[in-house]
Chain A
């Protein structure tokens, strides 16, 4: 029996924007079915790292694997070849992503938002995509809103549609980039509930968040990042209740 590779494995990942080094060697492993939460002050590089996982940002040095495959490159002998656009797109189709500002397509109805990629990218028929979308809308509690336009929905509803849109591609990994940061406080709960259900269903998730309660309760692992490095990681309860590093302590004292 062969052991399956971890869902995400980062080895000394570096990323710079011009002169600024944003990621200074990230090592991290996310197992299958695991929920990994990444916390840290803004500018710590946590969102950038998340965007590297589906190649929205290019890694400058180090290696990043998703499901055993190198992200953005193909190894042939000793050499690495950059993947062509179509190949990158195919890999991205297997990874769902939810953005801070939802990024729903405003000119399309909720239904059209959800079935667009399954139809165009996977070649699924409209009928199949629509019935899958109906199930997903039920799952995120938005049955009956399929013909609404995004601007007619509240932020929390929009974010739940965005989650349904990502799930419509039947991804093996879900990335969440501060999914509740742009929401009014009273709408945060409904989005976290959907994410909690998703985690319970066994989805592998990497969640960049400021919701410490969610990280403690749902996360299998917690990473605290600051200034482009992982300062501390471990089971959420340990890191949160008994931080070892001064930087973690001072960050937690501000957000808790």
Chain B
């Protein structure tokens, strides 16, 4: 019975997709491999990859810090996670993009002391870097919680065995705990990556020309809004599907040596 209902609904949807003239599949076909669209797709991919790499790397560092016996180290990590999780990512992207307006210079060095690295924030913060900072630093806060859960899932006997062999805390983490934690960390990281792929579209707010912004610019000119949104959707679906496959192989790799 349920299957019949589902089949009827699917048939209705298919009919609607084919029969609705306003969807203009011919326009979708024209734009699907348009060079501007393809550039947008490439930028969406680059943005997703870099933001996730920053998120994963910083997230793992934050998770290890969070579990440190030193209260200053774990406190700093807690503060970071709390701050970045409690503000919307769109606000963070806008914040980074508009930061140069209030900062005359950007430098790296000893507080109130000498600085080694110096740059003008107006040239350093582009639409691209603001997008990366906003997405990557926010993602790190979420990845930190995922990595922490993964680390805590590893049997304490593993840490003890490594310590008894004379390994330091860092060696134990790197060689023994994190590789085992990966089994728990990978599946939600796949979800985060899929979610990130779509969250990158938020950077339309600062005008970075990734997939969605490109599509918006085109339909702003041609008024073919729905066909172009369909074009973007097809690309998002295609990219997400690739990620599904990648996640399957990663999970298989990190499950080695375990029965499940």
Contacts and interface: CB of A to CB of B under 8 A. Distances in A.
Interface of A: 54, 56, 85-86, 89-97, 99, 101, 103-108, 116-117, 120-121, 149-151, 162, 165-166, 169
Given A99-B160, A105-B158, A149-B257, A89 B166 contact: yes
Given A105-B161, A165-B165, A116 B175 contact: yes
Contacts of B158: 103, 105
A121 B160 contact: no
A90 B160 contact: no
A107 B256 contact: yes
Contacts of B175: 116, 120
Nearest to B160: A56
B44 interface: no
A99 B164 CA distance: 10
Contacts of A94: 166
B167 A117 contact: yes
Interface in B138-173: 155, 157-158, 160-169, 171
Among A95, A97, A105, A165, residue most surrounded by chain B Cβ atoms (within 10 Å): A105
B259 interface: yes
B257 A92 contact: no
A107 B160 contact: no
Given A151-B257, A151-B258, A162-B161, 14 more contacts: A56-B164, A85-B168, A93-B165, A94-B166, A99-B160, A103-B158, A103-B160, A104-B161, A105-B158, A105-B180, A107-B257, A116-B165, A120-B171, A120-B175
Interface residues on B, range: 20 to 34
Interface in B231-260: 256-259
Nearest to A94: B166
Contacts of A106: 180, 257-258
B165 A169 contact: yes
Contacts, number: 74
Contacts of B166: 89-94, 117, 121, 169
B257 A108 contact: yes
A156 B257 CA distance: 18
Given A99-B160, A107-B257, A108-B257, A89 B180 contact: no
B157 A99 contact: yes
A181 to B, nearest CB: 14
Nearest to A105: B176
26 contacts: A56-B163, A85-B169, A86-B168, A90-B166, A92-B165, A93-B165, A93-B166, A95-B164, A101-B157, A103-B158, A103-B160, A104-B161, A105-B161, A105-B176, A106-B180, A106-B258, A107-B179, A107-B180, A107-B257, A117-B166, A120-B175, A121-B165, A121-B166, A149-B257, A166-B165, A169-B165
A86 B168 CA distance: 6
A37 to B, nearest CB: 20
A104 B258 CA distance: 12
A120 B257 contact: no
Given A101-B157, A103-B157, A107-B179, A89 B163 contact: yes
A106 B182 CA distance: 13
A99 B161 contact: yes
A116 to B, nearest CB: 7
A115 to B, nearest CB: 11
A104 B180 CA distance: 12
A95 B259 CA distance: 31
Contacts of B167: 89, 117, 120-121
Contacts of B179: 107
A150 B163 contact: no
A3 B165 CA distance: 29
